[in-house]
Amino acid sequence: MAKMNMLQAINDALDIAMAANEKVMCFGEDVGVFGGVFRATSNLQQKYGKDRCFNTPLVEQGIIGFANGLAAQGSFPVAEIQFADYIFPAFDQIVNESAKFRYRSGNLFNVGNMTIRTPYGGGIAGGLYHSQSPEAYFAHTPGLKIVVPRNPHQAKGLLLASINDPNPTIFFEPKRLYRASVGEVPEGEYQLPLGEAEVLKEGTDVTVLGWGAQMEVIDKAVEMAEKEGFSCEVIDLRTILPWDVDTVAESVLKTGRLVITHEAPLTGGFAGEIAATIQERCFLYLESPIARVTGMDTPFPLVLEKEHFPNHLKVYEAIRESVEF
Amino acid sequence: MTTTKYKSVYTPVFTDGSEYHIPTLKLLKQDGSLYKGSKAPDISKDKALRIYRAMVTTRILDERMLGAQRQGRLSFYMQCTGEEASVIGSAAALNDADMIMAQYREQGALAYRGFTIDEFMNQLFGNEKDYGKGRQMPVHYGSSKLNYMTISSPLATQIPQATGYAYGQKMAGDGHCTIVYFGEGAASEGDFHAGLNMAAVHRVPAIFFCRNNGYAISTPANEQFAADGIAPRGFGYKMDTIRVDGNDILAVYQATEAARKLAVEENRPVLIEAMTYRLAAHSSSDDPSGYRSKDEEAVWREKDPILRMQNWLTKKKWWSESEEKELQERMRREVLETMKRAQKLPPPPLESLVTDVYDEVPPLLNEQFEKLKAHIRKYPNEYPKSAAHVQGGA
Report, as an integer, the average pLDDT of B159-183: 98
Number of neighbouring beta carbons within 10 Å of residue B288: 18
- The 3-class SS string of B301-342 reads HCCCHHHHHHHHHHHCCCCCHHHHHHHHHHHHHHHHHHHHHH
Report residue B388's pLDDT band, with 50, 70 and 90 as the boundaries. Answer: confident
Q: Is A60 a catalytic residue?
A: yes
Picking from B248, B229, B237, the residue whose alpha carbon sits closest to that of residue B185 is B229
Q: Is the pLDDT of residue B394 over 70?
A: no
pLDDT band at B3 (very low <50, low <70, confident <90, very high): low
Residues A70, A165 within the same domain: yes
Name the residue range of residue A20's domain. 2-185
pLDDT in tens, A184-241: 999 999 999 999 999 999 999 999 999 999 999 999 999 999 999 999 999 999 999 9
Separation CA A252–CA A234 (nearest Å): 11
A243 and A121 inside one domain: no
CATH number at residue A171: 3.40.50.970
Catalytic residue among A29, A97, A130, A233: A130
**Domains contained in chain B, CATH given:** 24-344 (3.40.50.970), 350-390 (no CATH)
**Chain A to chain B, count of Cβ pairs less than 8 Å apart?**
157
**In this predicted model, what pLDDT tens digit does every residue of B241-286 receive, in sequence order?**
999 999 999 999 999 999 999 999 999 999 999 999 999 999 999 9
Contacts of B357 in chain A (CB under 8 A): 102-103, 142-143
Residue A191 lies in a domain: no
Q: Which of residues 43-102 of B touch A (CB under 8 A)?
A: 99, 101
Question: Exposed/middle/buried for B10, CB within 10 Å: 0-12, 13-18, 19+?
Answer: exposed
Task: Read off the pLDDT of each residue in B183-190 and give the average, rounded to a whole number.
Answer: 98
Same domain, A180 and A31: yes
Q: Are residues A251 and A176 in the same domain?
A: no
Question: Are B168 and A105 in contact (CB < 8 Å)?
Answer: no
Q: Which of B135, B291, B333, B375 is labelled catalytic?
A: B291
Do B164 and A25 make contact, defined as CB atoms within 8 angstroms? no
Q: A57 contacts in B (CB within 8 Å)?
A: 194, 197-198, 201
Q: Say which amino acid occupies B157.
A: T
pLDDT category at B18 given cuts 50, 70, 90 is confident
B225: phi then psi, degrees, rounded to nearest 5: -155, 155
- Percent of chain A scored above 70 by pLDDT? 100
A-chain residues near B352 (CB < 8 A): 106
Residues A179 and A220 in one domain: no
> What confidence tens digit (pLDDT) does each residue in A6-63 have?
999 999 999 999 999 999 999 999 999 999 999 999 999 999 999 999 999 999 999 9
Residue B144: closest C-alpha in chain A: A108
Q: Is beta strand A206-210 parallel, antiparallel or unpaired with respect to A232-236?
A: parallel
Domain endpoint, select from A144, A163, A185: A185
pLDDT tens-digit series, residues A244-263: 999 999 999 999 999 999 99
Q: What is the DSSP letter of B28?
A: B
- Residue B138 in contact with partner chain A when CB distance is under 8 A: no
Together in a domain, A58 and A179: yes
Partner-chain contact A105 B142, CB within 8 Å: yes
Chain A residues within 8 A of B142 when measuring between CB atoms: 105-106, 108-109
Strands (E), chain A: 2-5, 24-28, 53-55, 76-80, 115-120, 145-147, 169-174, 182-185, 198-201, 206-210, 232-236, 239-241, 258-265, 291-295
Q: What pairs with residue B307 in β-bridges? A: none
Residue A190 falls inside a structural domain: no
Q: Give the residue-averaged pLDDT of A120-134.
A: 96
Distance of CA B236 to CAs A161, B16, B178, B319, Å?
A: 41, 12, 21, 44
A16 in the same domain as A165 = yes
Instruction: Compute the 3-state secondary structure of chain A and give helix, strand, coil in percent, each to the nearest 5.
Output: 40, 20, 40
Predicted pLDDT at B389 = 82
> Is the confidence at residue B390, as pLDDT, over 90?
no
Contact (CB, 8 A) for A224 and A180: no
Q: What is the mean pLDDT of chain A?
A: 98
Please tell me the predicted confidence (pLDDT) of residue B195. 98
H/E stretch holding A154: helix A152-164
Q: Which whole number is the average pLDDT over B14-19?
A: 89
